[in-house]
Amino acid sequence: MKQIISQIIKPQKLLLLTLISVFLLLNLTACKPAALGKQDSQLVQAILSDPKTFNAALSQEIPNVFGLIYEGLIFENPITGETEPALAKSWQFSEDKQRITFTLREGLKWSDGQPLTAEDVDFSYNQIYLNEEIPSNVRDSLRVGRSGTLPTVKKLDNLTIEFSISEPFAPFLRSTGLSILPAHILRSKVENKDENGKPVFLSTWGIDTPPEEIIVNGPYKLDQYFTSERVKFAANPYYWRKDSQGKQLPYIKEIVWSIVESTDTSLLQFRSGSLDSIGVSPEYFSLLKREEKPGNFTIYNGGPAYGLMFMAFNQNQGKRNGKPLIEPYKSRWFNNVNFRKAIAYGIDRQRMINNIYQGLGQTQNSQISVQSPYYYSEVKTYDYNLELAKKLLLQEGFKYDEEGKLLDAENNPVRFSLLTNAGNKIREQLGSQIKEDLSKLGIQVDFTPIAFGVLVNKLTQTLDWDAHIIGFGGGNEPHGSVNLWYPDGNLHLFNQKPQAGSPPIEGRVVMDWEEQMAEYYIQAAKELDEEKRKAIYAKAQILGQEYLPLIYLVNPLSLGAVRNRFQGIEYSALGGAFWNVERLEITE
């Protein structure tokens, strides 16, 4: 449950994100963290917690340092959505589309001055990302098709590397943006074992490692790290990019991330001038908008944020040790598509936008982000309509008692629990409104925010929940969410299979529409024609809105405030303000 959805975070691709971090990113608008005391060529940002590791292959957290200090073969441009060259200057597909041959740039170097060659690419994939002894979450981003086969990676010469896959697979190119790591430093760490027989690599480059020992290839290298205070980055003198006049990039020579205790603290620091940027949440927008001109900063609007915010019912019909996971009468409600449609019609999402999001959002109607080229604009919507909601309920045998309470055909009062993670103000407000909205249908909702870890355990292990509100991240490529839509996927939350180490489930039922949804995602991944892929994903979105396994809520706007002293900002919902930080300049 810690993991979801692929994203390119300049320029490294992370397939799996922790859910809590995903929502933090949506609200902090991709700020790339901070510190205090600006200099003429210094960018200062803020993060809410210390880094967890300096080992890119073992990272599971956002924010992390790796988008600044490493690059992969390619990266996805957040403005255009196009795949662009990074360490690889070009690539070529074979005629059968099952081989990609990359050609590296000449003269690439590591931050210690050593050459970066195809040997490093071969090592990074074969010895790290494809190595079963190394528990890297990004390995799943390399799996091809429903069978999940992994590619073979082969060095052809010092500048050429070949990837071979088992079948044509449209998303595969985007999965080759993983950080390339230095073979001359790390090979021995992979080959040598500790006293437990595990690779020494697993304990290499922790946060206690002196920054100068972390060898990198990105625009910046680690310079200083002081626990609970700051992370400082310095320009990498061997970085490969130069501007059109041949000047070494990056222009900004230092980046400082200040580690702060809360978003309220980062707001105070931004308003005092100590920070150069901040994500703009709805609660801060009016205040910052008034201060925009006198504070000499600009609030950028990247449009609807990527990702999902939804409510879902537990549709698992199975049993554990002979006991149903969900009371049978409730399970009948939750598995009734017209019941789910009635709930969707009974939620006033426009009121959520007006009151909770301060007008800074739009209704969400699809599992694919509205800014993705695969978004289908004609998908069915569920605008607030109490009369239609009641009509659907009565049609399915529900009825009202004299007090206006909704009963099912067996006279069970319609009452269920609704969970979300405590401390997330937006989700807590969404839950409170849903409780109020559904009371108008005679439904009693017992809304309870709980600790995030407890929520994760319920959703993935015990499976003893009725309904929940949660959010997932997203990107342009829909295939990143296959774990949500495959019936055996680890994130198929509305009808979860038993996870590794948890008791078995007897009698779990997978519906035909669930299998059909998975089939659409399999077909789309195999299809290389973009227009045909779009048509398949349109069918998936239509199916999702017809059966409503997820009841989508609101897409907030992606907003970020940045000091006007930075020249070259190209703000986007996918990359934020600093996705092209190596090309930004400071003008006082």
pLDDT (tens, 9 = 90+) of the chain, 588 residues, equals: 333 323 223 333 333 333 333 333 333 333 333 334 445 689 999 998 899 999 999 987 777 899 999 999 999 999 988 899 999 999 999 999 999 999 999 999 999 999 999 999 999 999 999 999 998 878 877 888 878 899 999 999 999 999 999 999 999 998 899 999 999 999 999 999 999 999 999 999 999 999 999 999 999 999 999 999 999 999 999 999 999 999 999 999 999 999 998 888 999 999 999 999 999 989 899 999 999 999 999 999 999 999 999 999 999 999 999 999 999 999 999 999 999 999 999 999 999 999 999 999 999 999 999 999 999 999 999 999 999 999 999 999 999 999 999 999 999 999 999 999 988 889 999 999 999 999 999 999 999 999 988 998 999 899 999 999 999 888 899 998 888 999 988 889 999 999 877 899 999 999 999 999 999 999 999 998 999 999 999 999 999 999 999 999 999 999 999 999 999 999 999 999 999 999 999 987
What is the Cα–Cα distance from 277 to 586, expressed in whole angstroms?
13
Helix (H, G, I), strand (E, B) or coil at 46: strand
What is the Cα–Cα distance from 78 to 7, expressed in whole angstroms?
10
Structure-token pair, residue 91:
């690539």
> Angle at the Cα of 51 (from 45 to 52), degrees rounded to 5?
160
pTM: 0.82
* DSSP code at position 512: H
Question: What does the H/E/C string look like for 130-181?
Answer: CCCCCCCHHHHHHCECCCCECCEEEEEECCEEEEECCCCCHHHHHHHCCCCC
Residue type, 179: S
Helix (H, G, I), strand (E, B) or coil at 35: coil
Scored b (16 or more CB within 10 A) or e, 423-453 reads ebebbbbbbebbeebbeebbbebebebeebe
What is the Cα–Cα distance from 445 to 251, expressed in whole angstroms?
55
Structure-token pair, residue 166:
């088992």
Structure-token pair, residue 350:
């426009």
H helices of 234-281, in order, are 263-272
Burial class (CB in 10 A: 0-12, 13-18, 19+), 250: buried
Q: Which pLDDT score, from 0 to 100, does residue 40 have?
A: 67
Q: What is the torsional sign of CA 162, 167, 168, 171? A: negative
* Backbone angles phi and psi of 517, in degrees to 5: -60, -45
Structure-token pair, residue 331:
């399970």
Residue type, 305: A
Tell me if the bond preceding 549 is cis, omega within 30° of 0. Answer: no
Structure-token pair, residue 208:
């206690």
Scored b (16 or more CB within 10 A) or e, 344-370 reads bbbbbbeebbeebbbebbbbbbbbbbb
Per DSSP, what are the bridge partners of residue 235? 220
Per DSSP, what are the bridge partners of residue 233? 222, 255
* Backbone angles phi and psi of 215, in degrees to 5: -95, 130
Residue type, 340: R
Q: What CATH architecture is 308-475+550-557?
A: Roll (3.10)
Burial class (CB in 10 A: 0-12, 13-18, 19+), 104: buried
* Backbone angles phi and psi of 100, in degrees to 5: -120, 125
Alpha carbons within 13 A on the beta-carbon side of 248 = 9
Alpha carbons within 13 A on the beta-carbon side of 588 = 7
H helices of 192-327, in order, are 263-272, 282-291
Helix (H, G, I), strand (E, B) or coil at 54: coil
Helix (H), strand (E) at residue 7: strand 7-9
Centre a 10 Å sphere on the Cβ of residue 84 and count the other Cβ atoms it contains.
12
What is the Cα–Cα distance from 236 to 215, expressed in whole angstroms?
10
What is the Cα–Cα distance from 107 to 394, expressed in whole angstroms?
71
What is the chain's length? 588
- The per-type count for the chain, helices as H runs and strands as E runs, is 15, 27
Q: Look at residues 337, 330, 371 and name the one whose alpha carbon lies nearest to residue 575.
A: 371
What is the Cα–Cα distance from 477 to 174, expressed in whole angstroms?
9
Q: Which pLDDT score, from 0 to 100, does residue 60 have?
A: 75
Own/partner contacts of 519-527, CB < 8 Å, gap of 24 or more, are: 521/478, 521/479, 521/482, 521/485, 521/486, 522/145, 522/146, 524/170, 524/478, 524/479, 525/145, 525/169, 525/170, 525/171, 525/479, 525/482, 526/145, 526/167, 526/168, 526/169, 526/170, 527/170
Q: Considering just the CA atoms, what is the radius of gyration of the chain in Å? A: 25
